[in-house]
Amino acid sequence: MPTSIATWNINSVRLRLPLVLDFLRQYDPDLLCLQEIKCLNDQFPRNDFAAAGYPYHAVHGQKGYHGVAIISKVPLTDISSRVFCEIEESRHVSAVLDLGRGPLTVHNFYIPAGGDEPDPEINPKFKHKLGFLSELKSWFGEASFARGQVICGDFNIAPYEHDVWSHKQLLNVVSHTPVETEALQELLSGNHGWVDLIRKHVPADQKLYSWWSYRARDWDAADKGRRLDHIWGTADVAQHATGYDIIRAARGWSDKPSDHVPVIARFD
């Protein structure tokens, strides 16, 4: 049976709940990972998602900021979350499920954006981001990450030249600086190796975005996007990846959309 996993930084799940429900009706993923839900666990709209056919939830919320959640058609077990850099922010949740090929662990991340100044000496937010990536590198080296793993979410890094609208103009802009992109590449090619399940299907010389700034008066015409949202899999998972969707149209679904759009990985 074909299956799919989606990720979306929704920038407040309660504010944009109708958009999420419309997305679920139209695209019917088996699993949706949400970032920046911006609510406490008991405020998460579980009943609405259950009514939409997604009765299983893993939620790591936070009042007014951050927060991540997984909603699923199939049961979720071994739900857990991890704190990075000893900073108590809700930026990770994981769960185990079975989409027909045995246990699969899905990790949902909201990696820190990093602020405006790409200098960890003067910008604690950027220091946090680099520390978060360093901890991920150590963690991903563990034997448990050798197979049966998917990681996804808002990584807040556009790693390749054509993951941004202008490579030259953004080299000193947080999300595309060399120190960030190199750190992400080290993660991708680390001890066990990951496969970027979207770039697997799209040549590196093709432009690909999942985020457009609120600051653009006409985001569609300006098209100054970045690919900040990612889905990776271990090699055993990646061999079953058959396609992807980036739902660009979602950026214009309402007069108050998220600045990110859904990204979907499809499997046989």
CATH code of the domain in which 158 resides: 3.60.10.10
For 189-217, the pLDDT digits (tens) are 987 789 999 999 999 999 999 999 999 88
Domain count, the chain: 1
Q: Which helix (H) or strand (E) holds 226?
A: strand 225-226
Q: Which helix (H) or strand (E) holds 35?
A: strand 31-35
Q: Which helix (H) or strand (E) holds 50?
A: helix 46-51
How many CB atoms neighbour CB 209 within 10 A? 22
| pLDDT tier at 1, thresholds 50, 70, 90 | confident
Domain residues for the domain of 146 are: 3-267
153: left (phi over 0), alpha (psi -120 to 50) or beta: left
Q: CA 13 to CA 21: how far, in whole Å?
A: 10
For 17-69, the pLDDT digits (tens) are 999 999 999 999 999 999 999 999 999 999 999 999 999 999 999 999 999 99
How many CB atoms neighbour CB 42 within 10 A? 8
Q: CA 13 to CA 20: how far, in whole Å?
A: 8
pLDDT for the residue 191: 77
